[in-house]
Structure 1
Amino acid sequence: MSFDGTFLHAMTAELATTFVGGKVVKIQQPYPLEIIVTIRSQRHNYPLLLSANPSLARAQITKIPYANPKTAPNFVMTLRKYLENASVEAVEQIENDRILKISLRSRDELGDQEDLLLIVEMMGRHSNIFLIEKATNRVIELIKHVSPDQNRYRLLMPGAQYLQPELASGFNPFASEITVDDWNQVWLQLHDLKNKPVRVWQTFFQGLGTDTAFELAERTKTARSVEEMTTIVTDFWQSFGQVQPTIGEQNQKLQFAAIPYQTFTGTVNDDFTTLSGMLDRFFGQKAESDRKHQLASNLLQRLNTVIKRNQKKLKKLQQTFKSAQNADEVRIKGEILMTYLREVPEHATKVTLPNFYDDNQPLTISLSPALTPAKNAQKYFTRYQKDKNALIYVKTQLEETQAELDYLTGVLAQVEVGEPKDIEDIRVELEQQGIIRADKKKKKQRIKINPAEQFYASDGTSILVGKNNLQNDQLTLKKARKTDLWLHTKNIPGSHVIIQSAEPSDETILEAAKLAAYFSKARESSQVPVDYVKVKQIHKPNGAKPGFVIFTGQKTIYVTPERQLVEQMRQKK
């Protein structure tokens, strides 16, 4: 799974064919290290994703929906200032390394022509995106500022001169002239048992990921001469002229490539029309999960802290409740001591007396030697009264703490199964509940809750799914009709699901139940119980937490979540 120089070579050709001659119409930054540049070209708007994400750095056309932050970051504001209505002059790769250069022509505030560069360096944790003034090579802005202490090789701050990173060594497989001596040298290295073939090819050619180098090693290992090896390698690079996007397994890992690799095993998927379409399929779920955890990292940390605190509190309360349940035994010991007060020796640590509540069976009672017998008896009565009062108080505290813990674990489950666009709603909810602090710097404005997501059953019936508690309340209590059918996983945190039909078919109920199971904490389970009932039978108690409702007369169906079904119901929109 590497977006290496070889793959970027093929992707650059796809992007150049699509974008050269096009015009920038919109720029957005939905996530901290990713931008979407929408370019109008060939009578269509194409969203170009440029990512400096350490584990997912790439450049591609994307159709995956995204949510924009309410406040635009500084980087995207600068891009809008310089690049709106700019024309795309060229899309190029720097040799065969992981650097993409997009040349743009715009006009400044005075109307004068201005040439700019958008450079994307896709190099793991060193990935970055730059806006460069072409004439002076000055960095106007970059998506990730790096202090001089962290990078002494070059200054990565606005206003600095752009210095290209040191390129990978080796021949550019698509441009270099390789001599016979060079081929002979690599042949000798491959047949030196001290060398690993994968490493040899990565050193010989520039910009090769491990997967591509392994493919070359496997293709050439049966070559019987330098000439045969040269032909195999040359044919391999020439095949990149006609890409065939492919996903398959290599060494038990899912990989992607611009052409079919012979080392791909298992189920190989090569029915993609574009490299970008393949990347949407390959990165879709992982990218969404990564973006979500970027947005929710602080929120998750706070949630886990509060959950652990409540778990400790619950454990202590349970211990106190168990101890308080022995209140009657404490009272009996006090009464027996008072009855046989004269028989209790002074300064004793314990005494055995007949228990008149149990056929005068002997009962051993612990004593404090520093207290008189009467005061020891009084001590038991005081403890009895304390335990008796504690039973009432602790029981209430147990119920409240357990309810709080159930609520928090439910919210945690919503973060895990939700999407990046749902995180802001969850953050607002936790601020309202006092679990996280609201940002005082942000201006208070009317809270706008994202609408529930809409799906369609096989027969076309609309099904709505709330992804968090605020959406759940809005969906169930305000949007749904009384005759609609409501679904939720039984005793498991999850989404409220509404079938917008008074009499849905059994097949629609089954599909909606699978949606409820998929968008719940039981996503990875099988035979998940899902309750369903008419909305008119749903009630929210006064003062209840967001998302909490009670209901009666429900039926239960058991289903197994299916991701493929969820995607099919999404695509029917």
Structure 2
Amino acid sequence: MNLDGLTMSVLAKELNERLQTGQIQKLYQIDKTTLLFKIRALNEDQNLIITVGATPAMYLSKPLQDLPKEPSSLCMFLRKHIEGSRIVKVEQINGDRIMCIQTDKLEMDGSITSTLIYVELMGKYSNCIFVQDGVVLESLIHVSPLMNRERSISPKLQYELPPNANRVSLMDFDYNEIRNLLVSFGNGSVQQSIRAIFNGFGKPLLDEVLYNANLNGDEIITDLEASQVDKLANALYDLKMMLQNGNGLLSLVNDNHKKAYSTFILHNYNVVKTYETISEALEETIHSTKAIHTADKELEKILTAAIKKEEGRHQKIKDELEDTNKMDTYKLYGDLLMINAHLQVQYEPSIELQNLLSDEGEMLTIPLKPNLTIVENAQWYYKLYTKLKNRMVSGEYQLNASTTKLEYLKSILYSISLATTRESLEEIRKECMDAGIIKKSKKPLSYKLGKSNYIHLTIDEGEMFIGRNNQQNEYLTHRFAKPTDIWFHTQDIQGSHLILRLNVEPDDMILSKVAQYAAYFSKARETSKVPVDYTYIKNIKKPPGSPLGFVIFNTHQTMIVEPKKPDNYNE
């Protein structure tokens, strides 16, 4: 979502109202281009995200559940200078796409250190720069002279604003001042003059000003009559007032299907969606584009790569097993050659023999190694037969093990989609460490993982217990559940173990309803017909040495249902 400078003035006001006088309590570096500031302001905890990657943005976010456990060196350095600071104000610089957070920190000797955090949201040139006394302290992205000849950014260099400092902000002037600027500095066409004088004009807002001034924008500004200049100045001033009084954001689209974002309705656009705050709109965009690589996204990436690697290994084993189809042919060749051991075939590439071991007695052409005798060729075929026979035994074992591992990895990947709390994500991370999928962290958890993080829902007929991940599935099925409880799980599809504990006798209506819930808590949530297996807990067994959440059962029933979300479940 690209916001123009004028719309960002509303964002600056929104952030200033929410963050002014707040204290920066913690700072995290989520990925190489993203910082999270945990701020206590107005008796509330605020989460300020600054990201300068593929989708540059600055917004207030809902709490992120999975944060890096081990800070980067940049994060440690910034914590030393920033944590504990008070936010004096958040403002926009010159109406451009540059935000500045002014912070003050009370030092141990009683002095106050001011740090300016410049957030430049300017496409591929976006950056977050920390400045003290006009000198760059640090930045998310270092810019060398080779990368940009006009402006370098690295520690100990003087901070300079990007070009276009000669342009001004529309928000700083009243009607008379706006008119004088148009008369004094207007040059070329009307739209060229507006863009040359004022920062932050995107095409939708510029078109809106021209529409309200009854101009098309191509008129030469020095040729305008005084009444036309008055009308243009009035349209610009009205825009300023609408932005000053505006809040929230509208997602708009015109008849040509072009999108726009504004704090008010534009004359040739229709409203698609309304957001109470600009932060809400930016957060939705970042979340939908997955622009921020949080720790859970990194774990998801690792698991996806592990699944891809195991799928390649799985296919390789299958291909090798297909080669074992030639095993019986090699044994037949060896037997026929031994039967005809009296023949002289050395230096012959092949031999044609009658198949005396079949009822048809058909003729077979058997390839030979020319440098070997007929007996030596027979022994060579027997060796190939033995090799393939051994490969078949080990290959089937490896294929079963690979199938189990694939299902296990996919079940972990699915469980990430159900993790809504930090505890749930840490359980998944711990499981991955125990399974050797990721390296074990040197830093222990600051809290103990509980066993009651599973989903607990009540229905009229009893209770349901649903695992969010393999560890919870293991606990619920093998330790928590009673023999008389009923176990549900989607057939051959990754999903949660659902335990049903009834206070009435089960009937088809109850079982069908709960099977729908079990289908909802699975990877097949978006499909229409899902097979769900169910059986009593007493029929469930866990094979020795099997991974977490893996079960077998000797009797069960299957029901085809449509997934349905439980009425009392809030994600």
For the aligned pair, the TM-score class normalised by the smaller chain equals 0.7 to 0.9
CA gap of 1:109–1:319, structure 2 versus 1, over 3 A, is same
Q: What secondary structure, in the 3-state scheme, does the structure 2 residue paired with 1:100 have?
A: strand
Q: Is the Cα contact below 8 Å between 1:30 and 1:67 reproduced in 2? A: no
Q: How do 1:185-334 residues align onto structure 2 when only pairs under 5 Å count?
A: 189=189, 205-209=198-202, 212=205, 227=228, 231-243=234-246, 244-249=248-253, 252=257, 256-265=261-270, 268-270=272-274, 272-280=275-283, 282-283=284-285, 285-286=287-288, 289-292=290-293, 296-297=297-298, 300=301, 303-304=304-305, 306-334=306-334
Q: Separation in 2 of the partners of 1:240 and 1:549?
A: 61
Q: What secondary structure, in the 3-state scheme, does the structure 1 residue paired with 2:364 have?
A: strand
1:14 is aligned to 14
Query: Which shows bigger deviation, 450-459 or 207-216?
Result: 450-459
Is 1:165 aligned to residue 158 of structure 2? no
Q: How do 1:348-363 residues align onto structure 2 when only pairs under 5 Å count?
A: 348=348, 349-363=350-364
What displacement does 1:278 show?
4.4
Q: How do 1:169-180 residues align onto structure 2 when only pairs under 5 Å count?
A: 170-176=167-173, 177-179=177-179
1:194 is aligned to none
Give CA deviations for 1:337-371 in whole Å, capped at 9, x if unaligned.
Answer: 33344456554322132434223333333333322
Q: What secondary structure, in the 3-state scheme, does the structure 1 residue paired with 2:334 have?
A: helix
Q: Separation in 2 of the partners of 1:215 and 1:532?
A: 62
What displacement does 1:411 show?
4.1
Q: How do 1:480-495 residues align onto structure 2 when only pairs under 5 Å count?
A: 486-495=487-496
Q: Separation in 1 of the partners of 2:492 and 2:53?
A: 38
Q: Is the Cα contact below 8 Å between 2:19 and 2:39 reproduced in 1? A: no
Q: Separation in 2 of the partners of 1:147 and 1:488?
A: 56
What displacement does 1:188 show?
6.4
CA gap of 1:129–1:382, structure 2 versus 1, over 3 A, is closer
- One-letter code of the match for 2:552? I
1:339 is aligned to 339
Q: Separation in 2 of the partners of 1:116 and 1:181?
A: 34
Q: Separation in 2 of the partners of 1:476 and 1:309?
A: 30
What displacement does 1:94 show?
0.7
CA gap of 1:443–1:39, structure 2 versus 1, over 3 A, is closer
Q: What secondary structure, in the 3-state scheme, does the structure 2 residue paired with 1:338 have?
A: helix
CA gap of 1:262–1:309, structure 2 versus 1, over 3 A, is same
Q: Separation in 2 of the partners of 1:532 and 1:555?
A: 6
What displacement does 1:491 show?
1.4
What displacement does 1:126 show?
3.7
Q: Separation in 1 of the partners of 2:87 and 2:340?
A: 101
CA gap of 1:209–1:332, structure 2 versus 1, over 3 A, is same
1:516 is aligned to 521
What displacement does 1:109 show?
0.6
Question: For structure 1, which runs of at least 5 residues remain unmatched after alignment?
Answer: 191-196
Q: Separation in 1 of the partners of 2:456 and 2:183?
A: 57
Q: Is the Cα contact below 8 Å between 1:325 and 1:391 reproduced in 2? A: no
Q: How do 1:325-404 residues align onto structure 2 when only pairs under 5 Å count?
A: 325-342=325-342, 345-348=345-348, 349-404=350-405
Q: Separation in 1 of the partners of 2:166 and 2:488?
A: 59
Query: Which shows bigger deviation, 114-123 or 338-347?
Result: 338-347
Q: What secondary structure, in the 3-state scheme, does the structure 1 residue paired with 2:172 have?
A: coil
- One-letter code of the match for 2:314? L
CA gap of 1:516–1:24, structure 2 versus 1, over 3 A, is same
Q: Separation in 1 of the partners of 2:514 and 2:458?
A: 9
Choose the corresponding residue for 1:434, options 428, 436, 439: 436
Alignment RMSD, CA only? 4.4
CA gap of 1:302–1:36, structure 2 versus 1, over 3 A, is same
Q: Separation in 2 of the partners of 1:319 and 1:507?
A: 41
Q: What secondary structure, in the 3-state scheme, does the structure 1 residue paired with 2:493 have?
A: coil
Choose the corresponding residue for 1:544, options 539, 542, 546: 546
> What is the TM-score normalised by the length of structure 2?
0.77
- One-letter code of the match for 2:367? S
> What is the TM-score normalised by the length of structure 1?
0.77
Q: Is the Cα contact below 8 Å between 1:98 and 1:207 reproduced in 2? A: yes
- One-letter code of the match for 1:433? A
CA gap of 1:212–1:179, structure 2 versus 1, over 3 A, is closer
Q: Separation in 2 of the partners of 1:148 and 1:482?
A: 71
- Paired residue total: 546
Q: Separation in 2 of the partners of 1:498 and 1:255?
A: 48
Q: Separation in 1 of the partners of 2:320 and 2:250?
A: 61
What displacement does 1:100 show?
1.9
What displacement does 1:556 show?
3.2
- One-letter code of the match for 1:4? D
Q: What secondary structure, in the 3-state scheme, does the structure 2 residue paired with 1:355 have?
A: coil
Q: What secondary structure, in the 3-state scheme, does the structure 2 residue paired with 1:268 have?
A: strand
2:122 is aligned to 123
Give CA deviations for 1:306-359 in whole Å, capped at 9, x if unaligned.
Answer: 545444443343333223233333323332333344456554322132434223
What displacement does 1:49 show?
1.1
CA gap of 1:537–1:217, structure 2 versus 1, over 3 A, is farther
Over the matched positions of the two proteins, sequence identity in percent amounts to 25
Give CA deviations for 1:354-413 in whole Å, capped at 9, x if unaligned.
Answer: 434223333333333322223233333333333333322222222223333333444455
CA gap of 1:379–1:532, structure 2 versus 1, over 3 A, is same
Q: Is the Cα contact below 8 Å between 2:477 and 2:537 reproduced in 1? A: yes
Q: Separation in 1 of the partners of 2:178 and 2:374?
A: 104
Q: What secondary structure, in the 3-state scheme, does the structure 2 residue paired with 1:434 have?
A: coil
Q: Is the Cα contact below 8 Å between 2:135 and 2:159 reproduced in 1? A: yes
Q: Is the Cα contact below 8 Å between 2:488 and 2:532 reproduced in 1? A: yes
Q: Is the Cα contact below 8 Å between 2:185 and 2:193 reproduced in 1? A: no
Q: What secondary structure, in the 3-state scheme, does the structure 2 residue paired with 1:401 have?
A: helix
Query: Which shows bigger deviation, 375-384 or 468-477?
Result: 468-477
Q: Separation in 1 of the partners of 2:51 and 2:165?
A: 19
Q: What secondary structure, in the 3-state scheme, does the structure 1 residue paired with 2:109 have?
A: coil
2:529 is aligned to 527
Q: What secondary structure, in the 3-state scheme, does the structure 1 residue paired with 2:89 have?
A: strand
Q: Separation in 1 of the partners of 2:475 and 2:203?
A: 50
Q: Is the Cα contact below 8 Å between 2:16 and 2:90 reproduced in 1? A: yes
Q: Separation in 1 of the partners of 2:323 and 2:299?
A: 38
Q: Separation in 2 of the partners of 1:498 and 1:201?
A: 66
What displacement does 1:54 show?
1.7
Q: Is the Cα contact below 8 Å between 2:66 and 2:294 reproduced in 1? A: no
